[in-house]
Structures are given as C-alpha cells and as structure tokens.
Amino acid sequence: MAYNNTFPSISIVTPSFNQGEFLEKCIDSILSQNYPNLEYIIMDGGSSDNSIEIIKKYEKYLTYWQSKPDGGHYAALNEGFKRSNGEVMGWLNSDDMFHPGGLFVLAEIFSEMPEVNVLTGRRVGFDAMGHLNSYGIERQTWSREILLDQSYVHRYAFIMQEATYWRRSLWEKAGEGLDLSFELAADFELWLRFSRHAQIHTVDALIAGFRFYGPAQRSQIMRDEYIRECESAIESEKSVRSDNLDLDAIAPPLIKYPPSGSTMQIFVKNPPPKFSIVTPSFNQGEFLEECIDSVLGQNYPNLEFIIMDGGSTDKSVDIIKKYEKHLVYWQSQPDGGQYNAINDGFKKTSGEIMAWLNSDDKYHHVAFYKVAYSFSRFRNIEWLTGRPAFWDKDGDMCGVFDYLPGYNRVKILNKAYNDPFIQQESTFWKRSLWQRAGGELRTDLDYAGDLELWNRFFRHAELYTVDTLLGGYRSHGNQKAALFMDRYVAESEKILDEEMVLYRKNGEAGLSSAPDPVSISAREVKAYIDDIYSVSNSKPFTLSDDSDRVIACLLRKVEELRHVSAQLACCEADSTAQNELHAMRNSLSWRLTKPLRCLADRLRR
C-alpha cells in the first residue's frame, strides 16, 4: 500500500506466551493509536489460554501472526523482525502497553531529527490495573560510558525497553538480531551494540511502558539472573571499540517534546455537514457490534451517533458500554417500540443529514463521505438512496442489484413499492425535509413506518438514486421484516390507500417520474475528502502543550483519510471497490473521531 511520506513506517513485534490476561490491552494500546504506516506482528509461542482467540479477533489488522513453539522470547522476536520492513523498529511484550500518542512521538522525532538513530522515552509504565506508574528519573539520558558502568546495573537503572525504538539501518549495522545466548538480557546487550554506532537519545515524552503486576512476574523472579547477564555483556563489550570514541562519554541532551523545529501543521479547511445516525435495538447482541463498527468505522469527523436500546436482556448493553465514549447518547429501557425509539433519538440530534440504521444492518465503507459529497454537489437533492445491496447472516455481502432502480410518488402509490423496496439502510435525507414532512415517524405503525415516511417525503421532494453502495440489509432467520412480511404488506397497503386519497384530493399533483440517477466517481469523492482536510509543512506547531494529544489524533486521522482517498481513487465506486476497501480495514478507525472534532472546532474558533 502507498502511504503519505509524512510518517515513517514503524514495525512492532509482540512476542507472547499464555498472556491472555494482558494481551488484548497490549494490542489495543497499539492499534488504537491508528498510526497510518504500521506493521504489527504477533509471535505467539503456542499458548494454551485464550490468547489465540484474542489474536484472531484482531488478525485483520495484523501484518502477520503465528502461534507455535518458537524457541523462546528472543528467537520469536528475531523471526518477527525478519518479516518486517519498517524504517523504525521495536517490540512490545504482551503484558506491556503503549501510551496514547506514543507512536506519533516516535514518528515526529525520527522524521524531524535525522541525527537520532535510537530513541527512548520517559520511564513511566503501568501498574497491574493499567494505571500510570513512574519508575523514577535517576537516569534519563544515556551514553555508552554509562551503559558500561555496572553500578547502574546494580541499582537496576535500565533503559526502558518498552519505550525504545531504532532505525532499521542501525539494526542492520549492529548485526540484525538479538543475541540468543542471552535468556533474559538480550535487550541490554542490544543497547550495547547500538552504542558502538550511535548515541542513544531520550525524549521527554511518554512512548510505551513496562507493566508491573507483582512479585510473581518473570522479570521480578529472574531479576538477579538478569543482572548477572548484564554484567557478562558489559565485560564482553568493554573490549569492543565504538565508531566514535569521542562520543562514548557524552549523553545527548534530553529532547523536549514537541521539538521546536517541528514544521507540520494540520488544519480542517471545509468541515463537512453533520450526520445524525440513530440505531434502535432490542436483543440484537449477535449483530449489534458490527452495526456500530460500520457507523464509527466511517471515520467521519462530524457525526452524532445515538443508540436507543429497548431494554435488552442479552449482551447488547455490554456492547454499547464498550463504545459509549464514542456516542452522543444511549439508553436501555422500555421505549414503546422501534419507531418511538427512533423519534426520541432524533429529538436529541442536530445534524444536517439524518438516517437510522437498524442494529442488524450495516453501512458500506466511505458511505458518509459519498452521501456528504452528493448533497454538496447536487444542491437540489433533499433525500437520496443508494444501489440496493444485501449482507448475509455472517455480515458478508451476498447480493447487489444489477440495475439501478428509480423511484417516484406515482410508482409507490400504484403499489409498486416492492419493485424494489426503497432500501431504508441506504437512505439519507436533509433535516429540512424531515421537518417539512412532520419531523417524526408514525408510532401507530409496527412494520411499515419507513414506507409511510417515504410517502410524506415524496409530497415535498424527489428521491434521487446514487449509483454507489451506501448501506445494506442483513438477511437472517430472525429478521423482523422477513418473519412478518404479511403484516408489513398489510400495513403498506393501508398506508398507500390513505396516501392515494390525499393525492387525489390535491388534484393528483405530485412527482410522476423518477429523476435521473446520480453518478459519482471515486475520484470525485477523493477530491471531496482532500478538500476537507489539509496538511501544511510551512508552519510550526502553535497550540499549547495540552493540545499535543489532540494534535496527534488529528495527524493520524488526516493521514488515514488521505490513505483511503488514494486507494479509493484507484477503483470505481462499485462492489469491487467496496471489497477492496474492506480489505483495507486495518488502516481505518473510528476511535478518535471526537478528538478530531474537538480540534476542528478549536481551529475554527
């Protein structure tokens, strides 16, 4: 995949063996960074706990993973690094974690400071619960001379491996591997070899940290043996000359963060319209998480997402709580039915573009950008729908219409509403139309509330079909529409009879023909995304230090969206393109959409 050159490629290897208790937190601490140029490899030694299930949960985001006997911790790392190509390298053990924004600290230092070949961060790790835990600042900067001083080893003052990363060129110069004759201290021996060729720099920022969770921890049990191995490595290293003897005694000064020479500035040029999405749900835990991910996975920076749960007794509430920090609002209580829940949800929103997505359905990738672009380009459109598509029970796309249907009021009133159905999952509208049409769904209906709403929309505006995939209906055994199709049809017939009376009362005035379909190209959508976000290399950072983390989030978001744009430009907006985008899922994330919105608002002010 081609990436923007702003960020260096980073390769991280995680060795693991029966660390299921901590592994998911480790993985999440890396993937939640949403770094746009990441190789992540997990080398499991044949675990017998729940590690494999955890790894499989995230495998679509991994460059490579394996689970088999591997010859030990350092052998697994060597094998993992052989499978990597990143410009910057390092490893994170499966019981340790990255600090938020840590990958972007690495990226900025290695990009802005070419003299830095190996970098470590502040000695701040985590306790058993994942809370910050400082390991002191007795030694923040390092030199080869200090590393060769055994008094530091005896005081257990070490470079924090979890926070240490280096350029591949240095790795190659130093032998391209960890020394397998060391069972415990191969990391320390590697630092000694690095010090022959480069100074070890320290940045005054959090990168990653060691997790301390008790005296039973291997590093604590084997502490004395680790020190003995360090002493042995020091004795062997003393006979080796470094490349630059004059620098052996000099510890480079502590790098302040962000570096004063940083030249990258990110800003939002044209904020896109706000989307309000409501998901009603009741005991749909089997499908709910995929639905949520399809909304948040749009990476859309101006989103209100609300979930209205009707008091589920399955795992739905646990799933919602997992994502609640990304929701504008959610509730779980008896709600008077699906349409009443949707109405209550929309009352809590303010977006210019509206839609609802049932909890067993899903959106296609980049759908929100396509919709936003369509409304932006075609100003006369007040509501639109996409090419009908379908998911199977497992969430795989199982069908797409081979023709593009057109819709108009007369066609619907003539009861051709199922030729085909206006796919609710693919339909979006402007709030102004919603308000003109009454501003709510009818709650006396149980099944065909969408069709009744479409009829009211048709009184005011044409429905445009956009030739692209937006959403999809999931077909499964417990699908409400399939189970009660006869009731849906009966409600629909009654609704259309009522609407026909109104239509004739008004002299049969209305929209008698379907408007021509709207076509949008992948390149147009790419240009629209590029017009929203902009990267400039002409000015230094100007925001205060308390914005650093938000800036890092925005940097990531811009690069992700540019990555998607570049890929999208290479394919047409059809099913093939969607499959390709699905394969690119590891470059997308929704986790930090709110920080992006926060900074966008701040910059606009």
pLDDT in tens, 476-487: 777 666 677 788
Question: Taking residues 285-312, what's their average pLDDT?
Answer: 91
Q: How far apart are CA 74 and CA 83, in angstroms?
A: 14
Reported as a single tens digit per residue, the pLDDT across 423-452 is 999 999 999 999 999 999 999 999 899 999
Nearest to 364 by CA among 295, 299, 427, 424: 295
Reported as a single tens digit per residue, the pLDDT across 245-262 is 878 888 999 998 766 555
Question: Does the pLDDT at position 233 exceed 70?
Answer: yes
Question: Does the pLDDT at position 4 exceed 60?
Answer: no
Q: Domain for residue 398, yes or no?
A: no
Burial category of 151 from C-beta neighbours within 10 Å (exposed 0-12, middle 13-18, buried 19 and up)? exposed
Reported as a single tens digit per residue, the pLDDT across 51-93 is 999 999 999 889 999 999 999 999 999 999 999 999 999 999 9
Q: Domain for residue 345, yes or no?
A: no
Give the structural domain span for 67: 10-247
Q: What pLDDT is stored for residue 219 in this prediction?
A: 57
Q: Domain for residue 198, yes or no?
A: yes
Question: Does the pLDDT at position 101 exceed 70?
Answer: yes
Q: Domain for residue 41, yes or no?
A: yes
Question: Taking residues 111-135, what's their average pLDDT?
Answer: 84
E strand or H helix that includes residue 67: strand 64-67
Q: What pLDDT is stored for residue 261 in this prediction?
A: 53
Q: Domain for residue 401, yes or no?
A: no
- Please state which of the ranges 185-189, 268-272, 282-286 shows the lowest mean pLDDT: 268-272
The most confident of the ranges 343-357, 390-404, 410-424 is 343-357
Higher pLDDT, 65 or 137: 65
CATH number for 223 = 3.90.550.10
Question: Taking residues 182-200, what's their average pLDDT?
Answer: 96
389-391 and 397-400 strand pairing: antiparallel
Higher pLDDT, 204 or 12: 12
Q: Domain for residue 457, yes or no?
A: no
Q: What pLDDT is stored for residue 394 in this prediction?
A: 86
Question: Does the pLDDT at position 173 exceed 90?
Answer: yes
pTM over 0.75: no
Mean pLDDT (the chain, rounded): 83
Q: What percent of the chain has pLDDT over 90?
A: 52
Contact by Cβ (8 Å): 186, 70: no
Q: Domain for residue 511, yes or no?
A: no
Reported as a single tens digit per residue, the pLDDT across 323-348 is 888 899 999 999 989 999 999 999 99
Phi, psi of 10, rounded to the nearest 5 degrees: -120, 130
Q: How far apart are CA 464 and CA 576, in angstroms?
A: 23
Q: How far apart are CA 117 and CA 316, in angstroms?
A: 48
Q: Would you give the distance in Å from CA 300 to the centre of its chain?
A: 11
| Structural domains of the chain, count | 1
Q: Domain for residue 151, yes or no?
A: yes
Q: How far apart are CA 190 and CA 335, in angstroms?
A: 61
The pLDDT confidence band at residue 5, using thresholds 50, 70 and 90, is very low
329-332 and 389-391 strand pairing: unpaired
Q: How far apart are CA 457 and CA 104, in angstroms?
A: 47
Nearest to 55 by CA among 451, 88, 389, 64: 64
Q: What pLDDT is stored for residue 522 in this prediction?
A: 78
Reported as a single tens digit per residue, the pLDDT across 502-535 is 888 876 655 556 788 888 887 888 788 877 764 4
